[in-house]
Amino acid sequence: MTRPIVTVIEVGKAVIDADTVYTEPVHFVVEDGIIREIGVGPYVPKTGERVDRYVRKGDRVAIPGLVNTHGHAAMTLLRGAGDDMPLMSWLHDRIFPIEARLTEECIYWGTLLASWEMLTSGTTTYTDMYMMMDRAAQAVAESGMRGVLSVGVVGLDEADRENGIRRSRDFVANWHGACDGRIQVTLGPHAPYTCPEDYLHEIAELASELGVGLQIHLSETRVEVDDCLGKTGLTPIALAERAGLFRVPTLAAHCVHVTDDDIEIMRANAVHVAHNPQSNLKLGSGVAPLPRMLERGLIVGLGTDGAASNNNLDMFEEMRLAATLHKGIHEDAQCVNAATAFRMASEMGAAACFQAQGAGALRVGSPCDMVLLDGKSPRMLPQHNLLSDVVYAVGAEDVRDVFVAGEMVVQNGEPLAIDTERVAYEVKRLRDRLQP
């Protein structure tokens, strides 16, 4: 039996979770990636206790690593390839032609670019639904992040359907639980408008057989909902329920155009939601009824969506936007408070994408996914309320060091396991090949 690796991290202040803030120095004792002990003041070793690594950052503020509950990582390669366009012409004239040229190396380098951007802006866990996912998983394995990955599948013809099932089955077999559990796999039926009802049913059966959850786009645009109602008489969410999709744990992205009945279906079936406020605005999709979903007790995380529709992967922006957008829309400054937004970006987000209990917080027993912010940032001055500063003022520019499962993966703003010069070189090379 090998002895566990013990790391001690000392910081100046810490936000443990949305309800617990230390405004004094704190130390964390981390054992094999799990927080075993939290104490005020510097760490004092007990007799016989051995510490393998010390990290002493007295001028940092620790917060849980942020959780990005929806995205398509390798779409970083399409960042800025089309903006300010109507959705259909954006998809058909810009996105699809480039996507048709994507190769395995595009997925690998694009996902590394996304990991670089996410880690250095404070995200430690992300979800992904895209193509050629073995290469995405390889990038996640190398970068040190946590990923909840899925092969995006569509079922518009028989070949697609069979491919989707086979690839999903293989991907679960090869990667679910890999890298000491850092990589988890779900199934990824794209949406009801690309997956017919019987195919959704088949995918739910497969998820059930394999013991995994699934992620899907639901009710992102008004047109999608109207089309579905026209064709089936049901909203996409009611249709997904009828297909039996919700009998397995489901993370539904967007949910912008949802009725109260849809929300009730999601509540009754414990469907989780990924709220993507910036993408929903930028694509002209609309504003999701987040306050109603929270009132009804849904588990809601926040997501950036892909970098073609955002156009960055900054979860501080999503957290701030989730906290402010609905106040403005409802003309109610009390709507979605700082603690709620923080919870969605951390612990509730982790729950939304099926992470273990305690994930997304820094409590004893939580995995040590931790971000250290610059305690000397002007955005943290004068510091009347540290949680408010983190939600409403701090940005990616204040992220300094990042740990995933107790391993340091970003130090003083630089990723340790990603060769950023190489990534920059490769994605520029690939860009020139992607232009139609």
In the region spanning residues 349 to 378, those forming contacts with a second copy, defined by CB under 8 A, are: 376, 378
CB of 189 to a second copy, least distance (A): 25
Q: How far is CA 221 from the centre of its chain?
A: 21
Nearest to 263 by CA among 318, 300, 233: 300
* Member of 58, 177, 284, 436 binding a second copy (CB under 8 A): 284
* Member of 61, 145, 212, 335 binding a second copy (CB under 8 A): 335
Encode 41-67: b = buried (16+ Cβ within 10 Å), e = exposed: eebeeeeeeeeeeebebeebbbbbbbb
Q: Which residue has the tokens 């694509």?
A: 283
Verify binding: residue 383, a second copy, rule CB under 8 A: yes
CB of 1 to a second copy, least distance (A): 41
- Cα separation, 15 vs 32, in Å, equals 22
The contact mask relative to a second copy for 108-127 (x = CB under 8 A, - = no) is: -----x--xx--xx------
* Member of 105, 286, 291, 296 binding a second copy (CB under 8 A): 286
- 94 phi and psi angles, rounded to 5 deg: -115, -60
Verify binding: residue 259, a second copy, rule CB under 8 A: no
CB of 28 to a second copy, least distance (A): 25
CA angle 410, 414, 417 (to 5 degrees): 65
Verify binding: residue 181, a second copy, rule CB under 8 A: no
- From 178-186, 261-269, 274-282, 343-351, span contacting a second copy (CB under 8 A): 274-282
* Member of 22, 28, 43, 90 binding a second copy (CB under 8 A): 90
Q: Tell me the C-alpha to C-alpha distance, in Å, between residue 114 and each of 110, 117, 223.
A: 6, 5, 30
**146 to 175, contacts with a second copy by CB under 8 A?**
none
CB of 193 to a second copy, least distance (A): 18
- Cα separation, 24 vs 11, in Å, equals 9
* Member of 176, 267, 282, 296 binding a second copy (CB under 8 A): 282
Binding-site positions: 70, 72, 99, 190, 217, 220, 305
- Cα separation, 95 vs 201, in Å, equals 28
CB of 52 or CB of 83, closer to a second copy: 83
Q: Which residue has the tokens 């595009």?
A: 106
The contact mask relative to a second copy for 287-326 (x = CB under 8 A, - = no) is: x-------------------x--xxx-x--x--xx-xxx-
Verify binding: residue 382, a second copy, rule CB under 8 A: yes
Give the other-Cβ count within 10 Å of 260's Cβ: 10
CB of 248 to a second copy, least distance (A): 31
Verify binding: residue 412, a second copy, rule CB under 8 A: no
- Cα separation, 243 vs 208, in Å, equals 13
Token reading at 29: 């004792």
Verify binding: residue 18, a second copy, rule CB under 8 A: no
Binding-site positions for substrate: 99, 190, 220, 305
Encode 6-30: b = buried (16+ Cβ within 10 Å), e = exposed: bbbbbbbbbbbbbeebbeeebbbbb
Verify binding: residue 280, a second copy, rule CB under 8 A: yes
CB of 368 to a second copy, least distance (A): 24
- Cα separation, 152 vs 170, in Å, equals 13
* Member of 249, 388, 416, 417 binding a second copy (CB under 8 A): 388
